[in-house]
Amino acid sequence: MIDDWAAAYAFHIRSYVIDPPEVVLAGLTREWAEMAPHLAQRQPDDVGRDLAHAAAKHAYLIAGTAVQLHDARLADRWWRTARDLADQSGDALLSAYTRTWEVTNRVSEPRENLSDLLTLARDARRCAGRRPTPTLMYATTVEAEVLAFMGRHDAAVDMIRQAETTFEHIPSGDPHREELLRFDQSCVYSLAGEHEAAEEAQRAALRFYRPDTHLYSAVQLKLYRAAMHARTDPDEASKEALSIINDVPPEKRIKRVRLTARHVLDAVPERARKLPAARELQALTARA
């Protein structure tokens, strides 16, 4: 049964990146209902660790889905559950990944304390250890992302370059090695105004994040590109952001997509925020 639940995670993560959050949560809830009685019982040590490992992955997907459903209280409860289960599994890399995933999902929320998230991101990087792995690289890129959102662009660029160094030392056969890097490269370099590096990262990232397989990430990447040009061409960037969002079916305009569009507005100069496209974008993102 544990092997079955572990395998089910791959199905749910595919759903998470393309389906409406209500659909994702329904599938995860059915899975959790089967796991919960076993989690409540005392298990042999090795069984308990394996069960905690599978359950932690489902728990952090439930938490991320709760974020998209605007239920912060439910999300907080599941983030704690995910961290606890990951730690119980004895897998330090899972503990690191779980914390990094949490930061990734929480960082765009305007009400979040970015300093607290930076602490959590650094804790994730500590859990990941020093050996070059995709998880260490992911933790480092997300720490860079938090710094970029804080407006600490020089520190963010330094951190993403540290992630690039880690990337170079990871065996090329490791799965997801490159895609974990490229998305946050695009984010950090775009927000930092590093146009050439951002363009290169965009091209690389879009090989992995296609609309048919990773709809939400593909949309976010396009929005970061618009944000990069918002300072120099605010009207066109605002129109581009509106077009990107309007191309997404209404039921899939999830929270993290609309919140990413706010970075376009943040980059629009104050004098240009009364342009019709900027005002329309403001109205759209105000509902995020």
Helices 179-192 & 215-229, crossing angle to 10 degrees? 20
Average pLDDT over residues 195-213: 91
141-195 pLDDT, tens digit per residue, is: 999 999 999 999 999 999 999 999 999 999 877 767 788 899 999 999 999 989 9
Higher pLDDT, 140 or 2: 140
Mean pLDDT over each residue of the chain, to the nearest integer: 92
Q: Are 234 and 268 in contact (CB under 8 A)?
A: yes
- pLDDT for 5 equals 83
pTM of the model: 0.88
Give 254-287 pLDDT, tens digit per residue: 888 888 998 899 899 999 999 999 999 988 887 6
* Whether pLDDT at 288 is above 70: no
Predicted pLDDT at 30: 93
Task: Provide the pLDDT for residue 239.
Answer: 95
**Contact of 231 with 269, CB cutoff 8 Å:** yes
pLDDT tens digits along 88-108: 999 999 999 999 999 999 998
Domains of the chain by residue range: 1-90, 111-206, 209-288
**Which residues have a Cβ under 8 Å from the Cβ of 115 and sit 6 or more positions away?**
150
Please say whether the beta carbons of 74 and 117 come within 8 A: no
Classify 7 as helix, strand or coil: helix
Residue 208's identity, in one-letter code, is F
Rounded percentage of the chain residues whose pLDDT exceeds 90:
70
Q: Are 195 and 231 in contact (CB under 8 A)?
A: no
118 or 180: whose pLDDT is higher? 118
